[in-house]
Chains A and B, each alone.
Chain A
Amino acid sequence: MGKDSEPAARPARSGRARAEELADKQHEISVTEFFEKNKQILGFDSRAKSLLMGVKEAVDNSLDACEESEILPDIVVKVRKVGEEEYEVSIEDNGPGIVHRAMPNVFGRLLYGSRFHAMRQSRGQQGIGISATVMYANVSTGKPAHIASRIEGEDEVAWEMDISIDTKTNRPIVTNDRAFPWVDKAHGTLIEYTTKGRYVTGKQSIFEYLKETAIVNPHARIEFHDPDGKIWTFERATEVMPPKAKEIKPHPAGMEIGDMMSYSARSEQRTVRDFLKNDFCRMTDRLAAEVCEKAGVDPGSRPQDLGREGSMKLISAIADTKIMAPPSDCLSPIGDTLIKKGLMHILEGMRPEYYATPVTRPAHTVNGNPFTVEAGIVYGGEIPSDGQVTIMRFANRVPLLYQQGADIITKAVSEFDWRRYGLEQRGGKGIPYGPAIVLVHVASTKVPFTSEGKEAIASLPEIEDEILAALRLVARNLKSHLNKMERKSKTHEKFDIVQKILPDLANKVSAQLGRPVPDLSRTITKIMNVVWIEPAKSRTEGKKSYAISYTVYNYTVRPHTLMLHMALPKDCISEAVTGAPMFDSVNDEGKTQWVIRDLEPSKSVQVSFVLEGEMADTFDPDDVYVSGINPVIVMGAEALPGDWGIKGMEITETDDPVPEDDSAEEEEKEELEEEEFSKEAMDDE
């Protein structure tokens, strides 16, 4: 009998036991183990990439930590080859350090961090964190990572320890934990680990990553010791810290169902009304009531009880309600001046001809997340001109080196018609060709990546529109520069005639005839008939300052009084500017004006001053404007634009005859009819 009952009971018991067993097993497949088996999700899918990912995670963390503590970052990255595909990597920063008790979890536990639900632009939201690097190092070489850290304070000691990760429990295993004297280190963190990897150079290299990082973080100093023993230093280009990004509460429109469920469950508010009003930004009593009503949720009920269904209702009600866009001060754009500064600093070796004034777009919102787009273009010089332009993509100040083809930035650059702006592009589509580097930075509290690998930004139309708008503005700057250069090279020819050719000609014929050299001023006036402005810029010796000069030649037949205007970097204006001869005034924005009075025909005068300070190099002396004179007879400066915001000098003067076009140029060309001479050119040889 008993035998009868047993088979009946057994399935029940053993079924349960098996389920329990299975459930246990499911528990045992920890986050850590899961990631170990799915390394590609973390970006550890190739040896070369693994090596880069580790450096990237550590450097991103260092920059974030420094920014939070308002420290100018000083980061040293060392990569040393220790075996076949095995490298020893160390990253040391001068950040705020990590308290002793937090060290094991920060480095030895996946998904440990404080960033969940923090609405703020940060680098670290990309990638799964430094702990993944530690784990990968553990798994691939069997060696623990070595960590040292010290927080600021006289009586604080430095701690060091070896950490590995128990992949079953996702818990750190700490050994050799001890305090030690860290000589000459006030605060900072060091991580050293040995990992499998492959060191590569080129577009997806550690070097490239650090270089691009230095461009968008001009306040950082980064030193890189490569495996060949070379040391590369990206010096700090500015002492100006990026503005600290504020933390804001989430915007209701940015909530997805999972977010809403966990956020409401963890809320400390007593009612759904208060939860809506206090745990989100841009919500008011009225809006909270409206959402509750539309959702059919009792505003007095507990948010912890919302559950899946209630959360769903809230989300769809929020979608139906007009809510003000989130504030954008949680974003920290780099800003046009610092982008330019960073680009100039790092790309100096390529001697670019032009840095198009970078553009920072106003913040917009997509899915409740504020974002902003910045763009810059560098053109000419030694940038290779025979290939496609280089696109530098950034998300929250982190360079994106992989999956260029899948990225919205690439898509926007390819869809933009560059032909109108002076770059070659076959059929007006695709990545343009020419000597240019295009930089695009997308900053957001939550950058929408295409995948967990966080290597490409997803194609959201709102973001694409903003990228296109930024490109259009920056491309327009490029185009106006190219136009200016073309005009300049044309007009410069005349300048060469009167400055070089004519004097030489006069000397030659005088010497041949044994007569005195004639005075050329009347001839020169007849040829030019303009007021010529020749800008020049040179670095002064030893100091971080630049000497700027404008030589103004009056090649017309009558005297002229005129004003020059330039917008100088505000912080660079000192006595060396305001005390210079002919200086007139300066306004709050750094716009200066200079007066040149009664410049006689055939005479020249020089406005010169010194710009001091770290922004001095960003000033382009070609950006000069004139007023008080008919701009048509001026070469080398544009007419003062109407929106300059200050009053030009009130001088009216009768127009000089405008220099006419030379019809003689046409005649001269006819002399050389190529086809005519192509074989007859052999005539005399």
Chain B
Amino acid sequence: MNDRQKTAFDRLTEMAEGVYDALDRGDIPQMTLPLRSKRNIEFDPMTQVWKYGNLKTTRTAKTTQGATTMLRTAYTTEFINEMIRENKSSTLREMYYISEGWNAAKFHSQDEGNLLAEDLETMSHCMREDFKLRPEESGAHVYGNVTFRTMTRKGMKDINCMDDVSEQGFAVPYSVEKDTFEIKSHDVRFIMALETGGMYARLIENGFPEKAGCCLVHLSGQPARSTRRLIKRLNEENGLPVVVFTDGDPWSFRIFASVAYGAIKTAHISEYLATPTANFVGITASDILNYDLPTDKLNDKDIGALHAELSDPRFNSEFWDTEIRAMLEMNRKAEQQALAKYGLDYVTDKYLPDKLSQLGLL
């Protein structure tokens, strides 16, 4: 048991004590935790990321939901403490299945288990990794002239993300903390995070990383924690600028927001995960117009999401306000691969050079 695990163990035990003492006094057990909604995220000028504010929610055993969550907390902490003691670990998926035997505390979906693990993080100020809980592989990859020193089955090894990997690149592990993962060296000028695998493959095929001297990170949809953490470390430790290149739709805006500003669900650890200096290189509503891109009509969910973003404090800037309203007005969205309208090389010959020179990266 290392120090961090000892802290996690102690904090979880404290929570159990809180419940026990309330019952022993004849009171209704309660737990207080930050309200995890967009109403309760605030910009932290110190770290330049969005974190939870002061709004709290009280979980009480008076309601079925509250009591059930409390019971889940009890089962989960017992499970975690056992893993810490026996030096085991499990995936969130495994925990979901283990909960089958937890009577009323059983998780009805994977999300419920994930949310609870995050609750425990916010209440204990520990990280999920300290609880020995890990996510599945995220599918995120890195390609570029960067060398990591990372834990393999045969001990720590150096891996260059261009020379030592397949065409797909280096698969991002679930934990990129210093004890098992180091950034050894690099010969790039900036990091480019990409939403879709299609664009990632296109840029590799076109030799863009070599030409532009950049390292590509395939986010594979909404980026997992370790992917965001890796971007953050590359940025912070190596001073590499970060740009994010996504589709042009409301969901992609949120992908950028979670990389740059911090995600609402994980705002308690935004300072570990978010890269506030990251820049967005499209596709924006203006790009759709300027490049005359093929588009699709917004569906009801898209429109709802855009409206939700207008009241999301993270998007409360002139840039986003203009872009979101423009997208609502034109009622269209576009994929990043729509640039292929002008040929396969257009994105690397024209679009990205345009965008990157504006940022002074080319």
Binding site for B on A (CB under 8 A): 493-494, 496-497, 500-502, 504-506, 508-513, 515, 518-523, 526-527, 662, 664-665, 667-673, 675-685
The answer, yes or no, to whether B62 is at the interface (CB within 8 Å) is yes
B64 touches A676 (CB 8 A): no
User: Known contacts A502-B67, A680-B265; is A670 also within 8 Å of B57 by CB?
Assistant: yes
Rounded to whole angstroms, the CA-CA distance of A600 and B22 in the bound complex is 23
Known: A501-B68, A512-B78, A668-B57. A676 touches B308 (CB 8 A): yes
CB within 8 A of B258: which of A500, A519, A680?
A: A680
Please give the distance in Å from A658's CB to the nearest CB on chain B: 15
Residue in B20, B222, B305 whose CB lies within 8 Å of A675: B305
Q: CB-nearest residue of chain B relative to A668? A: B65
Does the CB pair A664–B254 fall under 8 Å? no
Q: Are B92 and A684 in contact (CB under 8 A)?
A: yes
A501 — nearest CB in chain B belongs to which residue? B67
| Chain A residue nearest to B305 in the complex (CB) | A675
| B264–A680 touching, CB < 8 Å | yes
Q: How far is the CB of B72 from chain A (nearest CB, A)?
A: 10
Given contacts A523-B26, A675-B304, contact A664 B38 (CB under 8 A): no
A685 touches B23 (CB 8 A): no
A673 to B37, CA, bound (A): 7
Q: List 7 A-B contacts (CB under 8 A).
A: A505-B23, A506-B20, A508-B75, A509-B19, A668-B63, A680-B222, A680-B258
Inside 8 A of A500's CB, which chain B residues have their CB? 103-104
Question: Is B266's CB within 8 Å of the partner chain A?
Answer: yes
Is A504 in contact with B103, judged by CB distance below 8 angstroms? yes
Most buried by A among B28, B58, B81, B251: B28
The contact of A664 among B62, B103, B135, by CB within 8 Å, is: B62
In the bound assembly, the distance between CA atoms of A494 and B251 in angstroms comes to: 39
CB contacts (< 8 Å) of A493 on chain B: these are 63-64
As a 0/1 sequence over residues 218 to 232 of chain B, the CB contacts with chain A under 8 angstroms (1 = contact) are: 000110110000000
In the bound complex, residues from chain A placing their C-beta under 8 Å from that of B61 are 497, 501-502, 505, 523, 527
Closest B residue to A516 using CB positions: B24
Contact of B28 among A513, A518, A526, A671 (CB under 8 A): A526
Q: In the assembly, what is the distance between CA of A681 and CA of B77, in Å?
A: 23
User: What's the Cα separation between A493 and B104 when bound, in Å?
Assistant: 12
**Complexed CA–CA distance, A684 and B59 (Å):** 24
Complex Cα distance A640/B188, Å? 83
**Bound CA span A542–B30, Å:** 50
Contacts of A497 in B (CB 8 A): 61-64, 67
* A522 touching B105, Cβ below 8 Å: no
B222 near A662: Cβ-Cβ < 8 Å: no
Pair B57/A508 contact, Cβ less than 8 Å: no
User: Is B103 touching A684 in the complex (CB atoms < 8 A)?
Assistant: no
B7 CB to closest chain A CB, in angstroms?
Answer: 17
A664–chain B nearest beta-carbon distance, Å: 5
State whether A505 and B70 are in contact (beta carbons under 8 Å apart), knowing that A526-B26, A679-B254, A683-B265 are contacts in the complex. yes
Cβ–Cβ < 8 Å partners of B23 in chain A: 502, 505-506, 509, 518, 520, 523
Known: A522-B26, A526-B28, A683-B225. A675 touches B308 (CB 8 A): yes
- Nearest-CB residue, chain A, relative to B70: A505
B47-79: CB near A (< 8 Å → 1, else 0) gives: 000000000011111111111101100110110
For A665, list chain B residues within 8 Å (CB). 63, 65
> Using Cβ atoms and an 8 Å threshold, which residues of chain A touch B333?
none
Encode contact with A along B250-280: 1 for CB under 8 Å, 0 otherwise.
0100110010000111100000000000000
- The range of chain B's interface size is 35 or more
Which residues of A lie under 8 Å from residue B258 when comparing CB positions?
A: 680, 683
- Chain B residues with CB below 8 A from A672, complex form: 115
Q: How far is the CA of A520 from the CA of B103 in the complex (A)?
A: 19
Contacts of A502 in B (CB 8 A): 23, 61, 67
- Report Cα–Cα, A509/B78, bound state, in Å: 8
Does A670 lie within 8 Å of B63, measured CB to CB? no
B35 interface contact, C-beta 8 A: yes
For B104, give its contact among A496, A506, A510, A526 (CB under 8 Å).
A496
Q: A501-B67, A501-B70, A679-B254 are in contact. List 10 more A-B contacts (CB 8 A).
A: A493-B64, A502-B61, A512-B16, A512-B74, A523-B22, A523-B27, A665-B65, A680-B254, A684-B225, A685-B110
Min CB distance, A639 to chain B, in Å?
25
When each residue 307-322 of chain B gets 1 if its CB lies under 8 Å from chain A and 0 otherwise, what string results? 0100000000000000
- Pick from A497, A501, A509, A664 the residue with the most CB of B within 10 Å: A509
Are B67 and A512 in contact (CB-based, < 8 A)? no
Q: Considering only CB atoms, which chain A residue lies closest to B221 in the complex? A: A682
Report chain A residues within 8 Å CB of B296: none
- With A505-B71, A668-B59, A671-B37 known as contacts, the answer to whether A513 contacts B225 (CB < 8 A) is no
A501's partner among B36, B37, B71, B77 (CB-CB below 8 A) is B71
- Is the CB–CB distance between B16 and A513 below 8 Å? yes
| Complex CA–CA separation, A508 to B20 (angstroms) | 9
State in angstroms the CA–CA spacing of A494 and B23 once bound together: 17
- Interchain nearest-CB distance for B315 vs A (Å): 13
Contacts of A513 in B (CB 8 A): 13, 16-17, 20
CB-CB < 8 A to A515: which residues of B? 20
Q: Write the nearest CB–CB distance from B99 to chain A, whole angstroms.
A: 13
**How far in angstroms is the closest Cβ of chain A from B261?**
12
Chain B: minimal CB distance from A251 (Å) = 63
> Please, which residues of chain A bring their CB within 8 A of the CB of B16?
508-509, 512-513
Residue B187 CB within 8 A of the other chain: no
A505 contact set on B, CB distance < 8 A: 19, 23, 29, 61, 67, 70-71, 74
Interfacial chain B residues near A668, Cβ < 8 Å: 57, 59, 63, 65-66
Would you give the shortest CB distance from A532 to chain B, in whole angstroms?
Answer: 15
